Amino acid sequence: MEEFKVLEIKQSVFADNDRQADEMRRELKKKKVFLLNLMSSPGSGKTTTLSRTIEALRDEMKIGVMEADIDSDVDAREIEKFGAKVIQLHTGGMCHLDAEMTRQGLEGLDTQDVDLAILENVGNLVCPAEFDTGAVKNAMILSVPEGDDKPLKYPLIFQVCDVVLINKIDVLPYFDFDMEECRKNILIRNPKAKIIPICAKTGEGIEEWADWLRGQVKEWKS
């Protein structure tokens, strides 16, 4: 039906990263450290969500955060205020983290006493999705202003995520965002995805998210 031309541009080949990622998960299991990889677009509210998550869980478990950023440390400064152990990872322009880079981060963080390690990946819906970081679970945030069609346009990240947080639901009245359409679009990509609408700013939905995460950490450490 399309009248415009579709041109397939060649893809580059990535080095094998999956084996390293699997190996890291085995080590994390042995050390009883749960690693969550948190991905999203820039400005979707990763840091605020992370702050809320730390508030909800810090009395029950020791949390360590790796803040990956091109070269600023805005987010690490913010997260530090919430009392989590934090390390800033400068990716030197790199748009994602792979398993080896994540390993460098975990070593820098020192996970000796950490129950839950969270990697705040680079704000990007494309590249981070292509690299298994070795995390036990992948989570992503899609915010209302970004639109309900994003699962159609950035399919891979929705496929690899175990949970999708739909953030900024407080501004639903001001955007053409159809929550049911969005759920449908996510489930087309990933029928097993858990979907949790939240508002990190007001705290709405954070309890459900914290419950899910608490359950995952418990299961991993058992």
> What residues between 40 and 99 interact with its own copies by CB under 8 A?
41-44, 67, 69-77, 80, 86-95, 97
Q: Establish if 104 lies at the interface with its own copies (CB under 8 A).
A: yes
Query: Which lies closer to its own copies via its Cβ, residue 98 or residue 162?
Result: 98
Contacts of 3 (CB under 8 A, 6+ apart): none
CB 137 within 8 A of CB 162: yes
CB 196 within 8 A of CB 165: yes
Q: Establish if 180 lies at the interface with its own copies (CB under 8 A).
A: no
Q: Establish if 184 lies at the interface with its own copies (CB under 8 A).
A: no
Shortest Cβ distance from residue 114 to its own copies (Å)? 14
Shortest Cβ distance from residue 44 to its own copies (Å)? 8
Query: Which lies closer to its own copies via its Cβ, residue 29 or residue 81?
Result: 81
Query: Which lies closer to its own copies via its Cβ, residue 75 or residue 220?
Result: 75
For 12-38, give the DSSP string: PPPPP-HHHHHHHHHHHHHHT-EEEEE
Instruction: Work out the burial of residue 156: count CB atoms within 10 Å of its CB; fewer than 13 is exposed, 13-18 middle, 19 or more buried.
Output: middle
Q: Establish if 16 lies at the interface with its own copies (CB under 8 A).
A: no
Shortest Cβ distance from residue 222 to its own copies (Å)? 31
User: By CB under 8 A, which span of 3-11, 111-119, 132-140, 158-166 interacts with its own copies?
Assistant: 3-11
Q: Which of 25, 52, 137, 168 binds its own copies (CB under 8 A)?
A: 168
> What residues between 106 and 125 interact with its own copies by CB under 8 A?
108-109, 122-125
Tokens representing 80?
Answer: 């530090």
Q: Establish if 150 lies at the interface with its own copies (CB under 8 A).
A: yes
**Three-state SS string across 91-154, please?**
CCCCCCCCHHHHHHHHHHHCCCCCCEEEEECCCCCCHHHHCCCCCCEEEEEEEHHHCCCHHHHC
Tokens representing 11?
Answer: 């893809």
Residue 12: CA atoms inside 13 Å, Cβ hemisphere, count?
4
Which residues are at the interface with its own copies (CB under 8 A)? 2-12, 41-44, 67, 69-77, 80, 86-95, 97, 101, 104-105, 108-109, 122-127, 130, 143-147, 149-150, 152-156, 168, 170-171, 174-175
